[in-house]
């Protein structure tokens, strides 16, 4: 079997989710069973990760709170566990041991805030109360002795939403945060964690199992699932989702087909468009480029588009999105989306659900799962939406419109394109924006970034029996 997770932080997170799920399936109060949960997460015979096993288990308690939904007073889906965030070194510009105590003192001359002094050992020292992190001292030092140290979470956050709180722990600015989850993935102490709806999802499933008159629960699954669970065949994974209690399992890639069709028409109508498929990208435009908000496609994301189609025929259904994206947890809170999608969980959480029910995927029969076209499935990787829009224009016979797209993956690329567009110097008329590098296959809710994932995704994409978007939509409308 392939390893499930890349590091111990993810392993601990998974253990908490699994044990919380086990207690929820049993109908127990999670915190009433804290000792049992904690003993399964932090084993007695393992050396503690921090100063002692008691602190490790205190952090488990905080993880449990996030596993059942987190603080209701905080609107961000990514929250900080303060007691877990106490190991990172001082951030910002720091004088290292490379300082030679030179006579030039270029660092002092370059600092307009008088933040640098020379100590008794002739080494430079930066007064953090005066320093404004301009970096001029670092660029002036001929020995490169001054380095800009950033915390892993701060370095991972490309939108400047993370700073240091007075107590030294990380602090997230909810207004700037785009819920991409980069800080969650990169924090080596697991102090930044995404809140979970795993308990709510289990309760929905149990309600229907105990009373069939209660609404059935439908799973809609992102196409990037082909890059995960590589220890089993995809058809077995779909069977496993059904065994959890989901009545049906649908491909969000079908929603991608629907979006490609609508987005191509909107692009022709407006002449310029930015994509709306990635909620983190949309939030980034809203916070960093407010003058570009009117350029965002009015179409829902593939997740919401498919859910809307399902609920139009079956309004009583409860719909749960399963994918690689932490930002989807924020998207489902939006009124225009929440009416269609009830909860969103990640592939990390799905693995915890499988194991909480002792479902061994490799032992299951395969379920046929073929609802989307080739173009719907390629949405999982960067550039896929662009190819799909191009195909949709072709299928609709639109020949008098020249598509000039730019596909951006990662916030740095998105920022560059949006900056040029906001100044009117971008030669392109369609911006495909993905917050995660590589697209959805690089999502922070994935269990692991498998090196062979592109190969697995390619194999999955090529199993699509439909190679045209419109014909697939028409066929699936009569089936789903």
State whether the Cα torsion 414-416-422-425 is positive or negative.
negative
Instruction: From residue 179, give the alpha-carbon distance in Å to each of 303, 304, 357.
Output: 17, 18, 29
pLDDT at 1: 42
pLDDT in tens, the chain (480 residues): 456 888 889 999 999 999 999 999 999 999 999 999 989 898 888 887 888 888 999 999 999 999 998 877 777 899 999 999 876 776 789 999 999 999 999 999 999 999 999 999 899 999 988 999 899 999 999 999 999 988 899 999 999 999 888 788 899 999 999 999 999 999 999 999 999 999 999 999 999 999 999 999 999 999 999 999 989 999 999 999 999 999 999 999 999 999 999 999 999 999 999 999 999 999 999 999 999 999 999 999 999 999 999 999 999 999 999 999 999 999 999 999 999 999 999 999 999 999 999 999 999 999 999 999 999 999 999 999 999 999 999 999 999 999 999 999 999 999 999 999 999 999 999 999 999 999 999 999 998 776 667 778 888 888 888 899 999 999 998 777
Q: Name 150's Cβ contacts closer than 8 Å, sequence gap at least 6.
A: 91, 92
- pLDDT value at position 263? 96
**Structure token pair of residue 410:** 């990662």
Q: Could you give the CA distance from residue 225 to residue 265 in angstroms, rounded to a whole number?
A: 29
Give pTM, 2 decimals. 0.91
Are 274 and 433 in contact by the 8 Å Cβ rule? The answer is yes
Please tell me the distance from the alpha carbon of residue 11 to that of residue 13, in angstroms, as a whole number.
5
**DSSP secondary structure, 389-418, as one string:** HHHHHHHTT--S----EEEEESHHHHHHHH
- Say which residue the tokens 């890639």 belong to: 253
């Amino acid at each position: 079997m392939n390893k499930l997770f890349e590091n111990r932080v993810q392993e601990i997170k998974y253990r908490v989710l699994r044990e919380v799920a086990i207690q929820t399936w049993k109908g127990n109060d999670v915190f009433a069973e804290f000792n049992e949960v904690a003993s399964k997460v932090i084993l007695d015979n393992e050396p503690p990760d921090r100063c002692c096993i008691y602190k490790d288990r205190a952090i488990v308690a905080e993880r449990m709170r996030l596993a059942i939904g987190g603080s209701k007073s905080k609107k961000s889906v990514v929250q900080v566990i303060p007691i877990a965030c106490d190991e990172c070194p001082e951030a910002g510009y720091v004088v290292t041991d490379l300082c030679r105590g030179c006579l030039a003192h270029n660092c002092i001359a370059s600092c307009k805030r008088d933040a640098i002094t020379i100590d008794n050992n002739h080494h430079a020292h930066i007064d953090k109360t005066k320093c404004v992190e301009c970096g001029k001292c670092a660029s002036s030092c001929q020995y490169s002795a001054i380095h800009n140290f950033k915390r892993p979470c701060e370095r991972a956050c490309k939108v400047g939403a993370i700073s240091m709180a007075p107590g030294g722990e990380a602090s997230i600015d909810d207004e700037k945060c785009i819920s991409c989850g980069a800080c969650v993935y990169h924090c080596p102490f697991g102090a930044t964690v995404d809140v979970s709806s795993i308990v709510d999802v289990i309760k929905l499933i149990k309600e229907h199992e105990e009373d069939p008159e209660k609404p059935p629960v439908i799973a809609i699954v992102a196409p990037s699932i082909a890059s995960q669970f590589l220890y089993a065949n995809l058809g077995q994974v779909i069977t496993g989702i059904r065994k959890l209690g989901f009545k049906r399992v649908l491909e969000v890639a079908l929603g991608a087909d629907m979006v490609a069709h609508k987005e191509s028409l909107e692009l022709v109508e407006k002449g310029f468009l930015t994509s709306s498929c990635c909620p983190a990208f949309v939030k980034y435009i809203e916070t960093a480029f407010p003058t570009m908000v009117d350029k965002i496609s009015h179409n829902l994301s593939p997740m919401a588009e498919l859910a809307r189609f399902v609920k139009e025929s079956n309004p009583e259904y409860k719909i749960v999105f399963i994918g690689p994206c932490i930002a989807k947890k924020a998207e489902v809170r939006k009124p225009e989306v929440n009416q269609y999608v009830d909860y969103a969980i990640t592939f990390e959480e799905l693995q915890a659900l499988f194991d909480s029910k002792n479902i061994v995927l490799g032992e299951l029969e395969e379920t046929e799962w073929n609802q989307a076209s080739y173009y719907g499935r390629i949405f999982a990787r960067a550039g896929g939406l662009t190819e799909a829009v191009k195909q949709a224009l072709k299928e609709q016979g639109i020949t008098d419109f020249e598509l000039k797209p730019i596909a951006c993956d990662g916030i740095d690329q998105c920022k560059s394109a949006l900056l040029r567009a906001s100044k009117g110097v971008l030669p392109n008329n369609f911006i495909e924006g993905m917050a995660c590098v590589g697209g959805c296959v690089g999502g922070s809710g994935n269990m692991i970034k498998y090196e062979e994932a592109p190969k697995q995704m390619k194999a999955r994409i090529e199993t699509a029996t439909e190679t045209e978007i419109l014909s697939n939509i028409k066929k699936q409308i009569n089936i789903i």
